Structure 1
Amino acid sequence: MITDILTYFKNKKWFRDRIEHIEEIPPRHARYTTEDVKLPQPLSRYLKEHHIKLYTHQYEALKHVRNNENVIITTPTASGKTLSFTLPVLEDLTNNKQDTALYIYPTKALANDQLKSLLNIDKEYDLEIYPEKYDGDTPKSKRPEIKRKSRLVITNPYELHLILPWHKQWQRFFENIKYIIIDEAHQYRGVFGSNMAFLIRRLKRICKYYGSNPQFIISTATLANPVEFSEKLTGLKFKIVDNNGSPSGKKYFMFFNPYALESKKKPSIHQDTLKLFNTYLKNDLQTICFEISRKMAEVIALRAKDRLKSEKPELCNKITAYRAGYTVDERKKIEDDLKSGKIKGIVTTNALELGINIGSLDSVIISGYPGTLISTWQQAGRAGRRNQESIITMLAFENPLDQYFMKHPEVFFNKTHEHAIIDLNNQQILRGHLKCAAYEIPLKLGEIESFGFDDEGIVIDEISDLETEGIVKYKDNQWVYNDIELLKQDKSPNFEVNLSDVRSEPYKVFNDHKFLEEMSEKQAFREAHENAVLIHNGETYLVRKLDIQERRVYVKKKNLNYYTQALKEVDVKLLKKEKEENIGDIKLSYGSLNVTEKYDRYNTITFSKISSSKKLNLPPLNFKTKGFWFTIPYDIRQHLEETLVTSEKFKDVFMGCLQGVENVMLSVAPFHVMCDTYDLGGVTKNMHEDTLNATIFIYDGFEGGVGLTNKAYKLFKDIVKMSYELVRDCDCDNGCPACIYSSQQQSDDKHLNKEGTLIILKHLYEIISNN
């Protein structure tokens, strides 16, 4: 079936011209354990009645857990990771009727999915575990019974963060806790990951307070640094299980580029996605299509139905969208219909990327590179039953990274997965969790070191500052929470700590009196300044007022045919150089920076053209962070001055060339350190006061830094190489969104110069290649 459709594509010019590459991924045969597993009788019966034989990696995980070792399981999507960690937990809870276990999932949908299967096993085999989900949706009437009776509780980080101050109500559970399961752990990276690492340390303190010492089982997609990641996340040593024994059919991974051809009609990734989606459905391939936004998921599903009305009307009722915002019942019905085959085509956001059980499909469409290799392979893993062939199609946006992959598929398919970054030295994040910890249980001197896995004396410094400010008080050889104002209001500091952000208090967006969403301060300045067009759930709103003092945004719903784009000026000052190396004539440094970002104007854009540009009156955002910077050797500047023929002033041309280099590096760096493009910032100076040279800075876009540019500093040569190849291989003449234009679209690109950018990158590449 798959080979037929590939032949069809090759014979049709429209498809053939847009196919950049097809990678054949060979089938993988199952490898089962030959050991006698020796499980409790109810679990042996469960495996037998459901025709389950353990794969080698599942048995390996079971052995490690039985040996009282912490385990990280890192195998691909649909490899049976859930059984790998659930089987040892159920074995222990069956044999030891007091033991308890905590499952932590990043989303409520995953928690719901896991609960259903655990409830079925518990009831069918009379295990008396009483699994339950405990989160914001749990009815108040049901909560006391869960605390009293449940031996397996499923929750999410946000709920756990609020539970910990009430640990006395959970005394039975914490006294007997044997296992803590962290599933889909690759979601915990950057700011969220750093917050999660401190949350886990607070959880461990409470377990220790009640006399328990639980084992950790972590399940994650494939990472470049799984052991380092698991140890930073928990502060414990781990055994790794990564030798996958599960089967997979042959896969064809196709790179499809809507921008491969010059066309009078502007190419559209969304139109091409729609055409591919319908083609697969008409050829009887059950297909899931991943879209970048809720709005596009709905639009593609709707248009697919419209277009199939005349050609294949019987398919119209077998197509649906799926996204956040649907009710639990709506989602569950869609998931069940997909599993049973009633639904042939589904268009979704990354809501179905994670491990919700929907079975395996024939075809996956990924409309635009999702931002990380991990997400891409998670989505691709939705295709391919055990021995059945499947096809994955990734379409490219007209941005630098997507287009780079189209030209360099070998990098995509040969690259090890990204590093998941957790930074335990962010003082802002650490400070919040130390306050929470002291509120939960007084902090003792001997235990505070566990808050800094690789700290540099930062923990004791923060405790001292909190003591000086009167937030904690030292008495009886321990620090006791002492924030009088919050205690008067009967508030815990947990409500002040936002797990998804460094600066805790978010901006709230309101349409009249209806609350819409929360956003960080930087996002508010970027997307919700006065007269900005804000898009929420596919609807457009005009921002009437940004109230900085009250941290509120007031909007009005309007149908608008334009969008806005804020531009910023950045200034950076060097505070402390922590690392430095000379690579030929390039001086590469890393350290602490003071960054000032000022959003000073915005463009109104109609049909891809700037229709107006207006000033903004916003205060500058000032924060201390970490970053790397490098100087441009003087002979490169000299070569540019001699080579480039232009009517513009050389100072402007040179800045445009440097800006091009910065833009490209900001586009490709997320590929190496697994982050969103907005997690990084950059600034270019043709003569910086601290370096006395032309210098490019790349910095973490968060207060205190979260370790992203520390990893990028180590991978500097890889980032330069990819940047050079990207610009060199782009077919445009003068620069375009696929190469040197800003991926963040927040800088003024009027002096950009592709020829000069390429000259600089070529020189940099030659220097790093020879050193």
Structure 2
Amino acid sequence: RRLAHHYGADPVFISASATLSGPGELLQRLSGVPEVVEITEDASARPALDYLIWQPVDDPHHEGAEVMARLVTEGRQVLTFTTSRVQAELVALRAQERAGSVSVKSYRSGYLAEDRRALEAGLQSGRLRGVACTNALELGVDIAGVDAVINCGFPGTLASLRQQAGRAGRAGADALAVLIPKADPLDAYLCEHPELIFEAPVERTVLHPENPQVLALQVAAAAQELPVTEDDDRWFGPTLPAVLERLTAAGYLRRRPAGWFWTRPDRAVDSIDLRAAGGHSVEVVDQDTGRVLGQVDPSAADRSVHSGAIYLHQGEPWLVTDYRPNEHTALVRPGRDGYFTQALGHSDIEIIEKLRHDRLGAAEVFFGTVELSGQVTGFLRRDELSGTVWDSTPLELPRHTLRTQAVWYTVDAAALTGIATKDLPGAAHAAEHTAIGLLPAFAPCDRWDIGGLSTTLHPDTGKLTVFVHDGAAGGSGFAEQGYERIEPWLSATLDRLRNCPCEAGCPACVVSPKCGNGNDPLDKAAAAQLLELLLR
């Protein structure tokens, strides 16, 4: 709009979506247009879609692979969505073993563009009958012949679940959608309340254009198109002066009488990665041939392609032999089956600024800016089938900092007298894990988009403190939604702890697949006691 306005144009925006909730509000926030008209009546023709919730007796990914293999051998074209790259590879591998000559492949972000295009062409032509994928195949690829969609685990939001299920039946024939829940707090909660899956409105999309990290990248790219002036705060908001100062100090922009100019000969969109805002992607390279197998986002590289890690590519394990973060490269060689790796780490949180504050029972609740400091300190090798730990290996990797936003609550020691002192670390840790697992029911995020930390005595509060923070630099709006819905969110967390049939804690309540402390300590019963103090 800024560029069009400069040349005397006032464009009209038309936006379409099959699943958005509050589309008018979203377009208004996205474009800045003051008046938006919504057209929400759906008159489109849709074939019948049978929806099945499949309670697994085995690992949901194993059963998803079995169902997928059965369907493709009966002539159906199937997409199986998983919630991680590793599981997409493993499901494809298991399904292919059972499907015989019928072609099944994996599809995920990180593949090279030519590999993705070849897989998409195979789906569109019908030669490829089954694909196990991440949400990289949820949007943006037109595939008409899919007969069935399987979800190995809830994808994080109702919007994603319905978008993925909507991949089936586009050719006009009746279709099938199957949800196989994982041992996860959110999946278990939704299976206890299936009406939420079918009747609840989809989540409203969270936009956080004020994020200084995102805004700085956009302003730099905009400055190359047209010099930015102080009057452009009407387009970029009140934080523009601070962003311009930061970009000028970094050498990206130079101030002249006519405004701020892009200083480099290359294009801003090429030299600044607008998607991987944290730095350059890490290339995964076959050490013997030099072939690039894929790319890993810099924020995930230390945890996923450290030396000794198992990296899965199209169902095949590759062992990382040399991780070179300064060169944005991880060298790999063919690995062996039977195990996967899990990174371990340590993190701290410093409270920078308290922006909002309230009380909830015996607790004080806050939303604000925090600085995370974290380091990957080692990794575990785990059995691929049972998850049993084989061994542990230490690592020496650099410490990283990240300024973002968080919601946190504190509880005075006087209110905790009903919980044994020795049980408090496990109580706070378990409450943190379960809350992280359930925040996607109240904000449009995935548990991998957020993180947390808990301690019985935080140096900035002097009290027992539980944090849940955004994973993106500058914040992404999820923690703020958690603050705004703190009572129903923690009520659902307590409900999950009370209703889970396990005795001491399991992946369906307090055990987290991403815990850097190896899920120790955890105390399910004490966590329920802690949350009761907040909700009584």
Q: Secondary structure at the match of 2:156?
A: coil
- For residues 614 and 730 of structure 1, the distance between their equivalents in structure 2, rounded to whole angstroms, comes to 33
Q: Which of these residues, 252, 269, 272, is aligned with residue 497 of structure 1?
A: 272
Pairwise CA distance, 1:574: 1.0
- For residues 349 and 276 of structure 2, the distance between their equivalents in structure 1, rounded to whole angstroms, comes to 22
Deviations along 1:147-196, whole A, 9 cap, x unmatched?
Answer: xxxxxxxxxxxxxxxxxxxxxxxxxxxxxxxxxxxxxxxxxxxxxxxxxx
Pairing 1:635-650 to 2, within 5 Å after superposition: 637-641=416-420, 650=421
How many residues are paired up?
521
Give the match for residue 44 of structure 2: 246
Change (3 A) 1:360 1:619: closer
Q: Which of these residues, 303, 306, 320, is aligned with residue 543 of structure 1?
A: 320
- For residues 550 and 561 of structure 1, the distance between their equivalents in structure 2, rounded to whole angstroms, comes to 30
Which one-letter code corresponds to 1:596 in the other structure?
A: S
Q: Secondary structure at the match of 2:326?
A: coil
- Contact kept in structure 2, 1:322 and 1:331, CA below 8 Å: no
- For residues 463 and 639 of structure 1, the distance between their equivalents in structure 2, rounded to whole angstroms, comes to 53
- For residues 550 and 529 of structure 1, the distance between their equivalents in structure 2, rounded to whole angstroms, comes to 13
Change (3 A) 1:743 1:715: farther
Give the match for residue 298 of structure 1: 92
Change (3 A) 1:386 1:594: closer
Cα RMSD for the two superposed structures: 2.8
Alignment pair present for 1:685 and 2:455: yes
Deviations along 1:418-476, whole A, 9 cap, x unmatched?
Answer: 23222122222222222222222211222233013xxxx31112223444566433333
- For residues 281 and 121 of structure 2, the distance between their equivalents in structure 1, rounded to whole angstroms, comes to 31
- For residues 278 and 539 of structure 1, the distance between their equivalents in structure 2, rounded to whole angstroms, comes to 19
Pairing 1:245-644 to 2, within 5 Å after superposition: 245-259=43-57, 267-277=58-68, 286=76, 288-292=78-82, 293-296=87-90, 298-306=92-100, 320-321=104-105, 323=107, 326=115, 328=117, 331-332=120-121, 334-337=123-126, 346-349=130-133, 350=135, 352-354=137-139, 356-359=141-144, 363-383=148-168, 390-452=175-237, 457-467=238-248, 471-481=252-262, 483=263, 487=264, 490-512=265-287, 513-606=290-383, 607-634=386-413, 637-641=416-420
Pairing 1:669-748 to 2, within 5 Å after superposition: 669-748=439-518
Alignment pair present for 1:216 and 2:40: no
Deviations along 1:364-397, whole A, 9 cap, x unmatched?
Answer: 3323222221121112223457997644221112
Q: Secondary structure at the match of 2:417?
A: helix
- Contact kept in structure 1, 2:72 and 2:78, CA below 8 Å: no
Pairwise CA distance, 1:666: 1.1
Give the match for residue 233 of structure 1: 30
Q: Secondary structure at the match of 1:659?
A: helix
- Contact kept in structure 2, 1:496 and 1:505, CA below 8 Å: no
Deviations along 1:252-285, whole A, 9 cap, x unmatched?
Answer: 32211114xxxxxxx2324423443465568x78
- For residues 269 and 429 of structure 2, the distance between their equivalents in structure 1, rounded to whole angstroms, comes to 42
Gaps of 5+ in 1: 1-203, 260-266, 307-315, 642-649
- For residues 477 and 453 of structure 2, the distance between their equivalents in structure 1, rounded to whole angstroms, comes to 18
Identity %: 24
- Contact kept in structure 2, 1:656 and 1:749, CA below 8 Å: no
Q: Compute the TM-score of the two structures, normalised by the length of structure 1.
A: 0.63
Q: Secondary structure at the match of 1:290?
A: strand
Q: Compute the TM-score of the two structures, normalised by the length of structure 2.
A: 0.88
Change (3 A) 1:211 1:657: same
- For residues 747 and 707 of structure 1, the distance between their equivalents in structure 2, rounded to whole angstroms, comes to 26
Which one-letter code corresponds to 1:570 in the other structure?
A: S
- For residues 321 and 714 of structure 1, the distance between their equivalents in structure 2, rounded to whole angstroms, comes to 42
Which one-letter code corresponds to 1:268 in the other structure?
A: D
Larger Rg computed on CA atoms = 1
Gaps of 5+ in 2: 109-113
Change (3 A) 1:502 1:470: closer
Deviations along 1:62-98, whole A, 9 cap, x unmatched?
Answer: xxxxxxxxxxxxxxxxxxxxxxxxxxxxxxxxxxxxx
Which one-letter code corresponds to 2:445 in the other structure?
A: C
- Contact kept in structure 1, 2:307 and 2:320, CA below 8 Å: yes
